[in-house]
Amino acid sequence: MTAHEFQSWLDAYGRAWQARDAKAAADLFTDNASYYETPFVEPLRGRAEILAYWSHIARTQEQIRFKNEILAITAQQGIAHWWTSFVRVPE
C-alpha cells in the first residue's frame, strides 16, 4: 500500500461518514474484516456487522466533520490519527 492509496481510503471513509452513507462505509471493508469501535468492546466481525453498525450511526449523528493525518505506512498496514466531531441526534 502506498501513502496515496491509504490517503484515498481515509478520504473515502471520511466522505462516507460525513454523508451518513452506511453502505459506502461498509464497502470499504472486506467480508472478513474486524472493526474495533473502541478497544474496550469486542470487534464487529464481517461486512454485514459493520453495515449494521454504520446504519445505526447514520441515524444518530449529523453535522459531521472528519479529518485525518497519516502517521506511518508499510506495504500491508497504515496508521493514522483521525478525529471527528458531530452532533448526536436523539433516537
Helices (H), the chain: 3-19, 22-26, 46-60
- Kindly list the distances between the CA atom of residue 17 and the CA atoms of 2, 74, 75, in Å, as whole numbers in the listed order: 23, 25, 26
Kindly give the parts of the chain with pLDDT less than 70. Answer: none
> Which domains, from first to last, does the chain contain?
3-88 (3.10.450.50)
Going by C-alpha positions, the residue among 23, 22, 14, 7 that lies closest to residue 70 is 7
pLDDT confidence of residue 77: 93
Q: Report the distance separating Cα 40 and Cα 18, nearest Å.
A: 25
Whether residue 73 contacts residue 4, with contact meaning beta carbons closer than 8 Å, is answered with no
pLDDT of the residue at 85: 96
pLDDT of residue 68: 97
Q: Is the pTM of this model over 0.85?
A: yes
